[in-house]
Amino acid sequence: MSRKKKNIMSFFCVGFIAVIIATIIINSVFVKNEGGIQLAIGKHSSALIGLSMASVIDYGDHYQIACHYPQTGHKKVDEDLRLLAQEEIDSFISLVKAHEQSERFTQDEKWLLGLDFTVVRHSEDIVSFVFEYSLTKDKEESTRLFSGSYDLKTETPIVLGRLFANDYDYLGLLAYLTKNSLSQREDYEQIKEEGLINNTLTAINDNYSCFALAKKHLCLYFPVGTLSTKIMQTIEVEIPFSALGDCFLLKNGQLPPFNEADLLYISANRHPKADPDKPMIALTFDDGPSIYTPKLLDYLEEYDARATFFVLGNRAEIYQETLARAVQAGCQIGNHGYNHIGEFTQMDDTTLEAQVNNTNCAIEAVVNQSRIYIRPPYGSINQEVADKLGVPIILWDIDTKDWKNNDTKIIADQVIKCAHDGAIILMHDCYFNTVEAIPLIIKALKEQEYQFVTVEEMLVTRGIEPAGGKIYYSTRVIK
């Protein structure tokens, strides 16, 4: 080949490479490296006019991450969205690290985390984001949906309760309207026959937590497997604003005033994630809240510890402020029945349902959690009842017997002596001496590098995905 031809070919090669590089630069406004993780910010589709998209792309030896989340140009909203994505990433990496240390781990495994979103707009200022999370491992994929709605003008989040008049049974209305809408589907009889619809449409906050505000509709989203095991796609229900009546407070694009208490429906304050390389235990407290619970929360906050409270419904109704404070402190709230009147295994279905649902309603008046775990009174459970309840059942493997050993030092010594990584400790926050044992326990075990975390946090960090109908005594013993 002549020198001239070689020069021409070189020119075209250089030009081709330059075009590729320019295309990459145009499609990604900028890419910067932060601790090995690439953060790329660029424009999304036309649905995101006025918004932008941030992406976290990360590769490990046994995992890949591709997470995309919106940015609005509003500082408070953007920080909330960033933390939301970061929480999912941190939880995923902890899960992978824990699995790498387990006996089930094989070197050729590859875990994939995906997070993407769609945008639904009511107006220029009122916008909703519907997120789809996917986790793939061993060629098995699990997905879930969650959403976030915001008033960009005031930089405040929008929770469902904010949209309706106080004390109105809007969940009951949504349950009725959703069922009516589903009945118009051609496959409604198939959905109805499967029997999932009654539980999925029960008038509790968790069932209607994934929503978006369109121009003239309230959009409700039901993930794969919740309404039907045979319909392999998300089911979306559109409820016209006109069907919601005068109790619906979003009028002419105007929202009712924001209440700081609304934040309790979204999430607790963000807290540092558990370190999978250090031992951890879950302190759990039954039969509260009580007059002693605020002091217990003082101790937990002082020593940067979190706990799980399995509350009685009739007490949760009285101590709502205490419950809200526990949530803000990063604690987990569970269900211990409404009034501790008997064993779940001895109850008929109607009584059992009332004990659980009434307590869930009392909790959901203050707290928004993806699922409310249950600890049955007296620890009385069998597989039949566990399956009926359909949520993780939390028992324990260290019993302080504080109801019997009414002595602060004895209670503390029992926990310190028996503590092990992954333990679930049973105590009661309705006893003064139990609460006074907490500083002794925390100080002694922190010297051994123990972390004090919630039950859910401990299970997930140890690579255990909490499942409905499973009974957990610790991270070691699961039935």
CA distance 265 to 262: 5
CA distance 20 to 29: 15
- Does the annotation mark 397 as catalytic? no
- The active-site residue, picked from 80, 122, 428, 429, is 428
Amino acid at 337: G
CA distance 386 to 378: 14
- Does the annotation mark 340 as catalytic? no
Non-local (6+) Cβ contacts of 418 within 8 A are 398
Structure-block tokens of residue 332: 């987990």
How do 211-213 and 30-34 pair as beta strands?
unpaired
* Residue among 389, 291, 398 nearest 335 (CA): 389
Whether residue 173 contacts residue 244, with contact meaning beta carbons closer than 8 Å, is answered with yes
- The active-site residue, picked from 80, 286, 287, 402, is 286
Whether residue 298 contacts residue 271, with contact meaning beta carbons closer than 8 Å, is answered with no
Residue 200 CA, distance from chain mean position: 17
Dihedral pair phi/psi, residue 438, rounded to 5° = -60, -45
CA distance 326 to 323: 5
Whether residue 223 contacts residue 144, with contact meaning beta carbons closer than 8 Å, is answered with yes
What is 344-390 written as a DSSP string?
GGGS-HHHHHHHHHHHHHHHHTT---S---B--GGG---HHHHHHH-
Whether residue 455 contacts residue 424, with contact meaning beta carbons closer than 8 Å, is answered with yes
**Beta strand spans in 35-80 (E):** 37-42, 52-59, 63-71
Residues involved in catalysis: 286, 428
